[in-house]
Amino acid sequence: MSCCPAEAVPSQQGGGPHRLVTGDCLTVLSGLPADSVDVVVTSPPYNIDLRYRAYRDQREEADYLDWMVAICTELRRVMKPDGSFFLNISGSHSRPWLPFELIVRLRPLFALQNHITWVKSIAIGADSTGHYKPVQGQRFLHHAHEHIFHLTRSGHVKLDRLAIGVPFKDKSNIARRGHAQDLHCRGNTWFIPYRTVNSRAQKFHHPGTFPVELPLWCIRLHGTPAPLVLDPFMGTGTTLLAAQREGGRGLGIDIDPSYVAIAAERLAADASPC
Ligand SMILES: C[S@@+](CC[C@H](N)C(=O)[O-])C[C@H]1O[C@@H](n2cnc3c(N)ncnc32)[C@H](O)[C@@H]1O
């Protein structure tokens, strides 16, 4: 289990309509009411020895999988029956099986309603977009994508596809196919590059954030107005920022008080930009 002392005593701070909790998510989740959350968007530690401030991202794989299954069991309990759980996770060159091992372990708990591929960088023909890190050695390709597993309790949750739709390239399709608006489904590959950051401070002193568009698109796709959005591994609060921008309420949990403080600052700055 985590070595962080904050785990023992969860503490809370406000953030406008949001709730930010410092503590171990398994403990905090067990105190939340059942059937209460509209959308979960989260990216857990990937067990790849990433240098977080408090959490040690290196467990025995079996222990990591058991831990994640216990957390996802709680997430299923707190989700509304028509809620959505978007789980962002990735393998690595050293642990390529991990996301697949996990998703198979979650099969008794959830329907895998959609499997979205988050494309972080892409080459089309001779052109490339997004950030390409140098690859060590000769065995592996540049890691350009991550998984977003869309898990639901029933597999029958209605979505608002056009809330993240894209305009038709061929406008004649609109009338010909009887579409009400100039939008079609985006599909299950989402190209969201990282914004270029020029300084360490811009990275919010956190090694593993996702771009705000990722939770924003998940929340819009789920489609509930003013949703309650939960991130049990909140980090710097990107999911809560997206919830705020969509007129929702966020509930964020992180084991590390310094990340919770950064999340509170980001939410406040975003609520009153000047
Ligand atoms: C991949 S990061 C999430 C980053 C976040 N999506 C963002 O954009 O900032 C995973 C987070 O899980 C937190 N964490 C690790 N163990 C935890 C636990 N038991 N309970 C709550 N948070 C935990 C880490 O401190 C880290 O901030």
- Determine, yes or no, domain membership for 85: yes
Does residue 146 form part of some domain? yes
CA of 272 to the centre of ligand 1 (A): 26
**252 Cβ inside 6 Å of ligand 1:** no
pLDDT tens across the length of the chain (274 residues): 333 333 445 777 766 799 999 999 999 999 999 999 999 999 999 877 767 677 777 788 899 999 999 999 999 999 999 999 999 999 988 889 999 999 999 999 999 999 999 999 999 999 999 988 889 899 999 999 999 999 999 999 999 999 999 999 999 989 988 889 999 999 999 999 987 665 555 555 677 899 999 999 999 999 999 999 999 999 999 999 999 999 999 999 999 999 999 999 999 999 876 6
Find out whether the beta carbon of 55 lies less than 6 Å from any atom of ligand 1. yes
Q: Does 150 map to a domain?
A: yes
74 lines ligand 1 (CB under 6 A): no
pLDDT recorded at residue 197: 61
Listing DSSP states for the chain in one string gives ----GGGTS-EEEEETBEEEEES-HHHHHHTSPTT-EEEEEE----SS--B-SS-B----HHHHHHHHHHHHHHHHHHEEEEEEEEEEE---SS-TTHHHHHHHHTTTT-EEEEEEEEES-EEETTEEES--PPPPSSS-----EEEEEEEESSS-----GGGG-B--SSTHHHHHTT-SSS-B---SEEE-PPPP--STGGGTT-S----THHHHHHHHHH--SS-EEEETT-TTTHHHHHHHHTT-EEEEEES-HHHHHHHHHHHHHHHS--
C-beta 86 within 6 A of ligand 1 = no
Which residue segment(s) compose the domain that 158 sits in?
Answer: 5-124+141-271
Tell me: the pLDDT tens digits for 7-56?
445 777 766 799 999 999 999 999 999 999 999 999 999 877 767 677 77
Residue 135: inside a domain, yes or no? no
In a domain, 264, yes or no: yes
pLDDT at 169: 92
Number of domains forming the structure of the chain: 1
The answer to the question of residue 131 being in a domain is no
Looking up tokens 């190209």 gives: 191
Residue 57 alpha carbon to ligand 1 centre in Å: 10
CA of 209 to the centre of ligand 1 (A): 9
Q: What's the CATH code of the domain at 25?
A: 3.40.50.150
- The per-residue pLDDT for 198 is 55
